[in-house]
Every structure is written in structure tokens, then in C-alpha cells.
Amino acid sequence: MKGQTLIEVLVALGISGIIIAAIVTLVTVSLQSAQFTKEQHLATEYAQEGMEEMRTLRDTQWATFLSYVPSSGSLRSFCLDQNTRTLRNASSCGQNLGTFVRKVEFQKDVDPCIGNAAKVNVYVLWRDSKCQQTGISDEFALYCHQVKLSSCFSNTNVLPTP
């Protein structure tokens, strides 16, 4: 009888350990998912803010806006740091929004922005524990998560229809 009771206790402890491990795993995954969702929401807000800055620049300083746009088919990248409206020319932006990186790219005459329009891409990049790359200079590889917004800008004045 004593041996049978000992086996029952060991089985019960084993099952309890498995249940506790499953609960801990579930809570950990849930917390990581919540953190990722929070970071993705914040990155989306930063990208929208960056696109609004580019729209404001186009509306108020067209000549300055044009100075960022390259010749047809090429690409120019800039950094849009926190609390500034000035684009910084740099090959690597670093974490310019807390733990996030915000980059702005300009292209001319690329699909779907053809004619006298410039394509503007705003990227917000970030890393977490799932990002395995380290010690590399390519920000798009180093920061394995991103939000990208794209828009076509031109100086065409749109008039409301009566």
C-alpha cells in the first residue's frame, strides 16, 4: 500500500508540474503578444506622424520638399528624428524615436506615382527578443519588425467639385 501511495503522489506531482508549466508558458506568450501589439500600435502612430510631416512640408514648403526628391528612378533616404520636422541625411538613422527607427524614402516616377509625383515611404522599425540578427549595419535586417506607409505627393492643387 505504501508503494502505491508513493507512486500516486509522484504521478500527481508530475501532472501538477505539467499544468503549472503550461500555465506559465501561456502567460508568457500572452504577455509577449500584448507587448508586440503595443509596439506595433506605437510604430503605426509614428509612421502616420511622419507621413503627416511630409504632407505638411509639401503643402507649406514645396521647394524644400522637391529638394528631397531624387531624379527619376532613384531613391533617397532620410531620418526623421523625434520632435523635429527637419529631415537628416544619413545612411543609418539609429534609434531616433526611443527604441524605434523612423526613415523616410523619396522616389520619383515609380509605380504608382508616375508623372510629376513623388512616392514617399515612411518606415518605422523596431526590434524585440525575436530579432536574431546582431552586429549588422542594414537597419531593415537588424530591426526585424516594421510598419511602412506609402503615399504619392504632387503639387497639383485639387479643387473641390461644386
* Domain locations along the chain: 2-153
Please give the Cα distance from 120 to 77 (Å, whole number).
10
Give per-residue pLDDT as tens, 135-145. Answer: 666 777 788 89
**pLDDT value for 29:** 85
For residues 28 and 30, give the distance between their C-alpha atoms in angstroms, rounded to a whole number.
5
Q: Which pLDDT score, from 0 to 100, does residue 146 have?
A: 92
Q: What are phi and psi of 74, to 5 degrees?
A: -95, 175
User: What's the whole-model pTM score?
Assistant: 0.78
Residues of the chain with pLDDT under 70: 1-3, 133-137, 156-162
Place of cell 507649406: 60
